[in-house]
Amino acid sequence: MNNTMDELCVNTIRTLAMDAVQQANSGHPGTPMALAPVVYCLWQRFLRFDPGHPIWPNRDRFVLSVGHASMLLYAMLHLTGVKAVNPEYETPGHLSVTLEDIKRFRQIDSKCPGHPEYRWTSGVETTSGPLGQGVATSVGMAIAERWLASYFNRPGFDLFDYNIYALCGDGCMMEGISGEAASLAGHLKLANLCWIYDNNHITIEGNTALAYSDDVATRFIGYGWNVTRVGDANDLEMLERAFTTFKNTTDRPTLIIVDSHIAYGAPHKQDTCAAHGEPLGKEEIKLAKRHYGWPEDAEFLVPEGVRELFQAGINARGRALRDAWWTKFEAYKRQYPELADHAYRMQRRELAEGWDKGLPVFPADSKGIATRDASGQTLNALARNLPWLLGGSADLGPSCKTRLTFEGAGDFSAGNPAGRNLHFGIREHAMAAILNGLSLSKIRPYGSGFLIFSDYARPAIRLSALMELPVIHIFTHDSIGVGEDGPTHQPVEQLASLRAIPGLVTLRPADANEAVEAWRVIMQFRHEPVVLILTRQALPTLNRTKYAGAEGVRRGAYILADADDGKPEVLLLATGSEVSLCIETYEKLKADGIKARVVSMPSWEIFERYCRERPDYREQVLPQAVTARVSVEKASTLGWTRYVGIGGHSIGMETFGASAPLKELQKKFGFIPENIIVAAREQIAKVR
């Protein structure tokens, strides 16, 4: 670095990271120190980002996939003066990250937690703790930009033309999700995507040679990426040339391999300590600061001129770009008012006018249809009304019924970025992370697969809940109803594990009309991700003139059938395909003079939320006086005790499934009315 001010800014980033980690006595100083020149060059010279309005829709996105290097991002957010954004999408004027926040790095309520957290710290584009998640999410952001440009841009009005930069490391490259995502990005020729790979050869256990010898450049060339290399992370001129190469590449994504040395400039400390979770120590910090020509005893020092340089660089550039964009948008709004309205609503996660018109209504039918089929019809009706509802499947569209079939829907591809059917290939984990990237870009995305493969997608599903993103995960083949495919394809523990994720809503509708109502509920969420769990096999479409209406889904659980006097002796609780079994049981018990109540419970989470708002509702549906209770669900019984009580009975799966036709499986595992009747009678006898 020849420019004194450039070097001063880079060393400010480094020393802030060192001091914050030391004060917290926790964290990772090495990577921020090594990559400070890379991020400085990108932000100060290239990034189209306005710190004064960090959610400007056409901003470039910067994703720190190496989330353990969070101090690198916090330093940039502070030094560039990024403003905080409140839940109403307003900028009240105060800083997102103050120097005091940095001094309280990794402490309770600081805006500088151990890993970057979306929603918690303005300027953080995505939560990026688990390695590989950030880069995979960035592919979703890149797909989103391509779709947004195709939908909104018009001659003279390029509303969306931003780029996505993701900083990753050896750990990201080792995780399988990054390979899944990179393969798809290359296939789609996402030229708006740039990954910057910190090639430092260090992980927690030591040199990467212990477990890793990939030729990353050759691998990415094979994926269809443009690959360039910077031999020294401190060479700003070479970094600038690499970023310029990316911007000039129009037919493929770019990987910039940057060779760095962990804790560069602090050679007295073991590399692994500096990289992974251990402060340098006060004496080592003094040596490093001496090496930088820094006052050795100064802590959290931001020298005069550093903030001003950023103001003259990224801030001035970003402000001019944003102002020009809003001026253009005002003219766009006059010429294309409907599209402008769509852009506004989409950015605020609002629904279009008439979003729920034309939803199907299914007549009572003892044979019925599978809830996956009812869902597919509903999804197509909704997507006609809401242009930014798009998605696809992990190679299971025909089975999951998630293909948009109306005229003009089309397939998203390198040659057709306007397509609304996404093809993720057999990449469940990357699919879920890409959905997060789409949602972070304000598109309303859905992805689908078999429920058993939610295990493959779970880490990214968890992050959608952590970030409060309204992603829609559609899972079919929901139980041992898969039949002959056998236990490898029959989910048992998946429902319980998904219900265990805080903030995630599970919905398992009982028939076609519950499936429609489930979608009606889902579409009104703005901050809750959902797993919609559907059957492959046909289920009876219940007679809603005889039993309660399906609109009870919006309350999470509701009385579907009741004793004539409203005073049941036993409660039968179920979700999904087992509700119709309970209805059949209810009719048999009624014929025998036993008063039962059937409660359909499509969503525990929605039920609990509704009961918090209406405390009397729980007692209406599940009266405490009725302790004779039976739950029925073709899944692990874990969790049902909260509804049936310690003395209640749960009919569910205690083992894995088996390969056989559905009817045989139902008999083998006890999912037949006769078994439910026995359990109900035993419960009543126990109470008496």
Annotated ligand binding at 319? The verdict is no
pLDDT bracket for residue 482 (50, 70, 90): very high
Does residue 130 register a pLDDT over 70? yes
Assess if residue 360 is contained within a domain: no
Instruction: Say which of 125, 428, 517, 578 is annotated catalytic.
Output: 428
Is 385 assigned to a binding site? no
**Are 79 and 44 in contact, with CB atoms under 8 Å apart?**
no
Task: Please answer whether residues 50 and 325 qualify as being in contact, where contact means their C-beta atoms are separated by less than 8 angstroms.
Answer: no
Q: Give the integer Cα–Cα distance in Å for 440 and 460.
A: 13
Report whether pLDDT(402) > 80. Answer: yes
The response to whether 201 counts as a known ligand-binding position is no
Are residues 424 and 498 part of one domain?
Answer: yes
Whether residue 276 is predicted with pLDDT greater than 70 in this model: the reply is: no
- In sequence order, the 6+-apart residues with CB closer than 8 A to the CB of 377 are 360
Mean pLDDT confidence for 601-607: 98
Q: Which two tokens stand for residue 99?
A: 């120097």
Q: Assess contact for 116 and 61: CB atoms under 8 A.
A: no
Q: Which residues contact 304 (CB under 8 A, 6 or more apart)?
A: none
Tell me what pLDDT residue 89 has.
85
Q: Phi and psi dihedrals of 243, rounded to 5?
A: -65, -35
Q: Of 370, 382, 359, give the one whose Cα is nearest residue 551.
A: 359
Note whether 135 and 170 are within 8 A (CB).
Answer: no
% the chain with pLDDT above 70:
97
Ligand-binding annotation for 131, yes or no, is: yes
Tell me the one-letter amino acid at 674.
E
Q: Give φ, ψ of 369 to 5 degrees.
A: -140, 165
* 129 marked among binding-site residues: yes
Chain centroid to Cα 618, Å, comes to: 31
Closest residue by Cα to residue 519 from 381, 420, 400? 381
DSSP 256: E
Is residue 96 situated within a structural domain? yes
Cα separation of 244 and 98, whole Å? 32
- Euclidean distance between CA atoms 145 and 441, whole angstroms: 8
SS3 call for 447? strand
Domain stop point among 293, 322, 351: 322
Q: Based on the fold, state whether residues 605 and 680 are members of the same structural domain.
A: yes
Would the annotation count 276 as a binding residue?
Answer: yes
Q: How far is Cα 667 from Cα 648, in angstroms, rounded to an integer?
A: 22
Q: Return the amino acid letter for 55.
A: I
Same domain, 9 and 141: yes
- Does residue 264 surpass a pLDDT of 70? no
| Residues 562 and 596 grouped into a single domain | yes
Range of the domain at 395: 365-539
Q: Average pLDDT of the chain?
A: 95
Cβ–Cβ under 8 Å, residues 440 and 55: no
Residues 6+ apart with CB under 8 A from 581: 574, 632, 671, 672, 673, 676
Of 493, 540, 218, 509, residue with least CA distance to 378: 509
Same domain, 315 and 389: no
Q: Which of 552, 678, 688, 540 is nearest to 621 (CA)?
A: 552
What does the pLDDT look like over 289-342, one tens digit per residue?
999 999 999 999 999 999 999 999 999 999 999 999 999 999 999 999 999 999
Whether 340 is covered by a domain: the verdict is no
pLDDT at 3: 75
CB-CB contact of 65 with 46 (8 Å)? no
In a domain, 666, yes or no: yes
CB 492 within 8 A of CB 656: yes
Two tokens, residue 127: 């939560």
Residue 286 φ/ψ, nearest 5 degrees: -60, -40
Does one domain contain both 258 and 405? no
Q: Report pLDDT digits (tens) over 553-603.
A: 999 999 999 999 999 999 999 999 999 999 999 999 999 999 999 999 999
- What's the CA gap between 610 and 559, in Å, rounded? 14
- At residue 268, does pLDDT exceed 80? no
Closest CA to 536 of 372, 346, 668, 417: 372
536 is in an annotated binding site: yes
Sign of CA dihedral 288, 294, 295, 298: negative
Q: Distance between terminal CA atoms of the chain?
A: 85
Residue 485, annotated as binding a ligand: yes
Q: 116 lies in a domain?
A: yes
The CA–CA distances, whole Å, from 350 to 329, 354, 392, 400, 530 equal 19, 12, 22, 27, 17
User: With 90 as the cut, is the pLDDT of residue 255 above it?
Assistant: yes
673 — phi, psi (to 5°)? -55, -40
Instruction: Grade residue 262 by pLDDT with cuts at 50, 70 and 90.
Output: low
Residue 356 has pLDDT above 70, yes or no: yes
Closest Cα partner for 275 from 559, 479, 71, 436? 71
Same-domain pairing of 22 and 85: yes
Element (H, E) at 45: helix 30-45
434 labelled binding-site residue: no
**Can you give the pLDDT at residue 273?**
40
Q: What are the beta bridge partners of residue 517?
A: none
| 453 known ligand binder | yes
Tell me if 50 is assigned to a ligand binding site: no
- Identity of residue 362: F
Tell me the three state secondary structure of residue 399.
helix
Query: Residue 79 above 80 pLDDT?
Result: yes
Q: Please report, for the domain that includes residue 617, its CATH number.
A: 3.40.50.920
> What does DSSP assign to residue 95?
B
| 346 CA to centre of own chain | 17
Helices (H), 553-660: 578-591, 604-613, 615-621, 641-644
Q: What is the pLDDT of residue 621?
A: 98
Segment 460-481 mean pLDDT: 97
On the CB side of 354, how many CA atoms lie within 13 Å of its CA? Answer: 6
309 with 249, same domain: the answer is yes
Could you tell me the two tokens for 439?
Answer: 């949602």
Tell me the one-letter amino acid at 203.
T
Maximum distance among all Cα pairs of the chain, rounded to whole angstroms: 92
For residue 443, say whether it is annotated as part of any ligand binding site.
Answer: no
Q: Is the pLDDT of residue 274 over 50?
A: no
Tell me the pLDDT tens digit for each residue of 34-76. Answer: 999 999 999 999 999 999 999 999 999 999 999 999 999 999 9
Please count the residues of the chain. Answer: 688
Is residue 272 predicted with pLDDT exceeding 90?
Answer: no
How do residues 61-71 score in pLDDT, each as one tens digit?
A: 999 999 999 99
Distance of CA 328 to the CA centre of its chain: 31
Q: Check whether 477 is labelled as a binding-site residue.
A: yes
Name the domain boundary from 524, 539, 554: 539
Residue 372 annotated as lining a ligand binding site: yes
Is 428 in the active site? yes
Q: What average pLDDT does this structure show over 205-228? A: 93
HSE-up (13 A, CA, CB side) for residue 420:
23
Residue 336 in domain: no
pLDDT of residue 332: 98
d(CA 676, CA 682): 10
CB 163 within 8 A of CB 247: yes
Query: What is the distance between the alpha carbons of residues 76 and 124, in angstroms, rounded to a whole number?
Result: 11
Residue 36: partners with Cβ closer than 8 Å, 6 or more residues away:
10, 11, 13, 14, 17, 72, 75
461 annotated ligand-binding residue: no
H runs (alpha helix) in 359-507? 371-385, 397-400, 428-440, 454-467, 494-499
Q: What is the DSSP string of 227-255?
A: EEEES-TT-HHHHHHHHHHHHH--SS-EE
Residues 310 and 397 in one domain: no
The reply to whether 505 and 597 lie within a common domain is no
Judgement on whether residues 128 and 260 belong to the same structural domain of the protein: yes
> Is 515 within 8 Å of 378 (Cβ atoms)?
yes
Helix, strand, coil percentages, rounded to 5, for the chain = 45, 15, 40
Same-domain check for residues 437 and 493: yes
Quickly tell me which residue has 């044979």 as its tokens.
367
- Name the E strands within 234-369: 254-259, 365-369
Dihedral (Cα; 458, 460, 465, 469), 10-degree rounding: -140
> Which residues lie closer than 8 Å to 579 by C-beta, 6 or more apart?
510, 511, 542, 560, 598, 600
Query: Given its phi and psi angles, is residue 401 left (phi above 0), alpha (psi -120 to 50 degrees) or beta?
Result: left
Structure tokens at 668: 């083998």
Tokens of 556: 């999470």
The first and second tokens of residue 187, run together, are 């296939």
| CATH number of the domain to which 152 belongs | 3.40.50.970
Q: How many domains does the chain have?
A: 3
What pLDDT sits at residue 357? 97
Q: Which of 471, 506, 539 is the last residue of a domain?
A: 539
Collapsing DSSP to helix, strand or coil, 422 comes out as strand
